[in-house]
């Protein structure tokens, strides 16, 4: 299998969670969980730097197991800038007793923009699982924020064994070395299991700019994201941070459990945001894991990729969900461009889009909706992913499925379909967005799960938009300007390199018009 062209991945072996991203002295830093000797699971911190979040230079490992408190693994964590000259990293170590403890490193030379060497402070571990905390469910410290009282705060992921409740344990410190656990967690939710990789940060009520992690105010909302160890996907809520009592209260605009809002409804886990103080935006990183077998990973010599970094902000209209969009720096890789207008897609039509390299392409398209009458009644007992899985792109409704076929063979035997379907669900008109991998490969030993979600949409509008990034074995899709995102991991046999094709399609009854379509060949980023 070909390596990706513009998604971050190390030269070989296993990679998973993005760790400790930050901007420091003119460089973006990305750390990540890495297995230096194999393609299965990671335990050291890999490190790379970039001037633009797209082209990367690999550096030596930042943190490796070496002491009693991390000898069995240096796990995920976060970076905090105590000042512009003082970056620190908190991470989870598995100690010689297999407990999970929280540790801290500082740069050996803070004047070095590359931050090549990190030193473990003598006081670590700085936090241990005391007072009944399960030492095997206590990990992934967040970026710290500074309270009005001048004290630092962090959250550590946890679960309560008896009731299987997920928790964000809250710790507070004056000096960033000695930490005290608050009596109550920042937040918890019943029967959600272990909360891995928690992330807690403020979002502005208007605009797309990000906020420093310590920002608070009467109009500012906060986001709490957790990665669910039980289900291997993530969810988030938008809510209010009550600073006087250090409690987070969701707004009750979405479910506070596995049925809640997700950054991404496909292959996307262990995510981490950071405030980019260089361009005043919040950037989201997420890990794309594999869908093939361990044997395949061993054969190709690598496993795991990072999604394209995304700018993330609060939906200025609803105030109840987040918007995500690939960072603008990605556009520097755009090459040959094609543009088309008013392509009429009659029911059952498939139209090839020629003139771009379909295995490595960025596509933006707007679909003009037909008259929304006599819509199908979607099964009210099924959720979005289940609805998408019903016959996938081969289903036939009054409006849809319509969208793109990417990484498609000339005979259409292999295809990954990203599409919309309009219908009535639980008495409401809704747009379903799906990523159908059921025909993505002739291989039989790969996961071909179909993903999907409903897209927040105003039916006063006349068109719905879709952007898709294709990079050989990765398909990242953004519906309605980033309101719904789905990442797929696919392994075509036929639709590779020059033999990959790109199509518009419409399997619905009603005709749909692709009012505008722009596609660009994508170049190669410099990989570590």
> 296: which 2 tokens?
């395949």
Tell me whether the omega of the peptide bond preceding residue 125 falls within 30 degrees of 0, making it cis. Answer: yes
User: Cα–Cα distance between 441 and 494 in angstroms, integer?
Assistant: 8
Beta strand pairing status for 13-24 and 302-303? parallel
pLDDT band at 461 (very low <50, low <70, confident <90, very high): confident
Per DSSP, the residues of 37-80 read: S-SS---EEEEEEESSSSS-EEEEEEE---STTTTT-EEEEEEE
How many domains are contained in the chain? 2
Q: Identify whether residues 438 and 471 lie together within a single domain.
A: yes
* Domain assignment of residue 221, yes or no: yes
Q: Which residue has the tokens 């797929």?
A: 488
* Domain assignment of residue 462, yes or no: yes
Instruction: For residue 275, give the H/E element and its range.
Output: strand 269-276
Each residue of 110-128: pLDDT tens digit?
999 999 999 999 999 999 9
* Domain assignment of residue 285, yes or no: yes
CA angle 207, 242, 85 (to 5 degrees): 65
Query: What mean pLDDT value characterizes the chain?
Result: 96
pLDDT at site 527: 86
Q: Is the pLDDT of residue 508 over 70?
A: yes
> 358: which 2 tokens?
């379909």
Question: Among 13-17, 103-107, 481-485, which is the least confidently predicted range?
Answer: 13-17
* Domain assignment of residue 320, yes or no: yes
Q: 13, 37 in Cβ contact below 8 A? A: yes
> 64: which 2 tokens?
């490796």
User: Cα–Cα distance between 34 and 61 in angstroms, integer?
Assistant: 9
* Domain assignment of residue 5, yes or no: no
Out of 260, 294, 328, pick the residue that ends a domain: 328
- Closest listed residue to residue 312, CA positions, set 21, 25, 508, 109: 21
Out of 328, 354, 386, pick the residue that ends a domain: 328
CA angle 268, 273, 276 (to 5 degrees): 140
Q: Identify whether residues 275 and 409 lie together within a single domain.
A: no
Q: Work out the number of other CB atoms within 10 angstroms of the CB of residue 4.
A: 20
pLDDT at site 483: 98
Q: Identify whether residues 134 and 224 lie together within a single domain.
A: yes
Q: 72, 92 in Cβ contact below 8 A? A: no
* Residues annotated as part of the active site: 17
Q: Identify whether residues 36 and 92 lie together within a single domain.
A: yes
Query: Count H helices, E strands: the chain?
Result: 2, 37
* Domain assignment of residue 6, yes or no: no
Each residue of 316-367: pLDDT tens digit?
999 999 999 999 999 999 999 999 999 999 999 999 999 999 999 999 999 9
Out of 294, 312, 328, pick the residue that ends a domain: 328
pLDDT at site 39: 55
Beta strand pairing status for 281-288 and 302-303? unpaired
Q: 335, 252 in Cβ contact below 8 A? A: no
- Closest listed residue to residue 419, CA positions, set 359, 373, 488, 489: 488
> 424: which 2 tokens?
């009535």
Q: Is the pLDDT of residue 313 over 60?
A: yes
The percent of residues above 70 in pLDDT, for the chain, comes to: 99
pLDDT at site 404: 98
Tally of CA atoms within 13 A in the half-sphere of 280 that contains its CB: 5
Q: Identify whether residues 177 and 228 lie together within a single domain.
A: yes
3-class secondary-structure state, position 296: helix
pLDDT at site 300: 85
DSSP code of residue 4 = P
User: Cα–Cα distance between 177 and 158 in angstroms, integer?
Assistant: 21
Q: Identify whether residues 395 and 297 lie together within a single domain.
A: no
pLDDT at site 1: 65
Per DSSP, the residues of 172-233 read: EESSSSS-EE-SS-SEEETT---EEEEEEEEE-SSSS-B--TT---TT-EEEEEEEETTTTE
Q: Work out the number of other CB atoms within 10 angstroms of the CB of residue 29.
A: 24
* Domain assignment of residue 143, yes or no: yes
User: Cα–Cα distance between 171 and 179 in angstroms, integer?
Assistant: 6
Instruction: For residue 295, give the H/E element and its range.
Output: helix 294-300
Q: Identify whether residues 323 and 431 lie together within a single domain.
A: no
pLDDT band at 41 (very low <50, low <70, confident <90, very high): low
pLDDT at site 509: 97
- Closest listed residue to residue 28, CA positions, set 90, 87, 103, 106: 87
> 180: which 2 tokens?
């005290």
Q: 522, 360 in Cβ contact below 8 A? A: yes
Q: Identify whether residues 366 and 507 lie together within a single domain.
A: yes
Q: Identify whether residues 322 and 343 lie together within a single domain.
A: no
CA angle 133, 250, 77 (to 5 degrees): 45
Give the CATH number for residue 423. Answer: 2.60.120.560
Q: Identify whether residues 254 and 354 lie together within a single domain.
A: no
Q: Identify whether residues 80 and 161 lie together within a single domain.
A: yes
Q: 455, 428 in Cβ contact below 8 A? A: no
Give the CATH number for residue 260. Answer: 2.115.10.20
pLDDT at site 38: 59
CA 474 vs. chain centroid, Å, equals 13
> 265: which 2 tokens?
């409804």
Q: Which domain holds residue 426?
A: 334-522
Q: Identify whether residues 276 and 382 lie together within a single domain.
A: no
């Amino acid at each position: 299998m070909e390596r990706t062209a513009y998604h971050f991945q190390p030269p070989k072996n296993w990679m998973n969670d993005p760790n400790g991203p930050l901007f420091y002295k003119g460089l973006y830093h990305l750390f990540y969980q890495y297995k230096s000797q194999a393609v299965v699971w990671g335990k050291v911190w890999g490190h790379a730097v970039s001037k633009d979040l797209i082209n990367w230079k690999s550096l030596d490992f930042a943190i490796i197991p070496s002491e009693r408190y991390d000898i069995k693994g240096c796990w995920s964590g976060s970076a905090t800038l105590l000042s512009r000259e003082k970056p620190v990293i908190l991470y989870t170590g598995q100690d010689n007793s297999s407990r999970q403890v929280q540790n801290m490193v500082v740069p050996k030379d803070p004047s070095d923009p590359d931050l090549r060497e990190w030193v473990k402070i003598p006081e670590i571990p700085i936090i241990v699982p005391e007072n009944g905390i399960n030492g095997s469910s206590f990990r992934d410290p967040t970026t710290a924020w500074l309270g009005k009282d001048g004290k630092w705060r962090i959250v550590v992921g946890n679960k309560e064994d008896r009731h299987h409740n997920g928790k964000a344990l809250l710790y507070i410190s004056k000096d960033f070395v000695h930490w005290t656990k608050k009596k109550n967690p920042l937040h918890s939710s019943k029967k959600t299991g272990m909360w891995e990789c928690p992330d807690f940060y403020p979002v502005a009520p208007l605009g797309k700019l990000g906020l420093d992690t310590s920002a608070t105010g009467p109009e500012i909302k906060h986001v709490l994201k957790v990665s669910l160890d039980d289900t291997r996907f993530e969810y988030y809520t938008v809510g209010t941070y009550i600073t006087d009592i250090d409690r987070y209260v969701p707004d009750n605009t979405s479910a506070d459990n596995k049925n809640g809002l997700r950054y991404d409804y496909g292959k996307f886990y262990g995510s981490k945001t950071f405030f980019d103080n260089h361009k005043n935006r919040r950037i989201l990183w997420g890990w794309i894991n594999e869908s093939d077998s361990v044997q395949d990973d061993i054969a190709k010599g690598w496993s795991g990729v990072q999604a394209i970094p995304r700018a993330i902000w609060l939906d200025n209209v609803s105030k109840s969900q987040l918007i995500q969009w690939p960072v603008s720096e990605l556009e520097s890789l755009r090459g040959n461009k094609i543009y088309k207008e008013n392509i009429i897609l009659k029911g059952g039509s498939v139209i090839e889009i020629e003139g771009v390299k379909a295995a490595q392409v960025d596509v933006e398209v707007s679909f003009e909706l037909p008259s929304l009458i006599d819509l199908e009644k979607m099964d009210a007992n099924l959720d979005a992913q289940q609805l998408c899985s019903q016959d996938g792109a081969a289903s036939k409704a009054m409006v849809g499925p319509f969208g793109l076929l990417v990484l498609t063979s000339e005979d259409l035997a292999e295809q990954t379909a990203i599409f919309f379907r309009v219908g009535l669900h639980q008495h409401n008109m809704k747009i379903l967005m799906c990523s159908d991998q059921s025909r993505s490969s002739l291989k039989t030993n790969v996961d071909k799960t179909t993903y999907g979600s409903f897209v927040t949409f105003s039916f006063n509008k006349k068109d719905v938009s879709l952007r898709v990034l294709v990079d050989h074995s990765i398909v990242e899709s953004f519906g309605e300007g980033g309101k719904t995102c789905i990442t797929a991991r696919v392994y075509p046999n036929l639709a590779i390199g020059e033999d990959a094709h790109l199509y518009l399609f419409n399997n619905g009854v009603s005709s749909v018009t692709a009012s505008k379509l722009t596609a660009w060949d994508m170049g190669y980023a410099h990989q570590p």
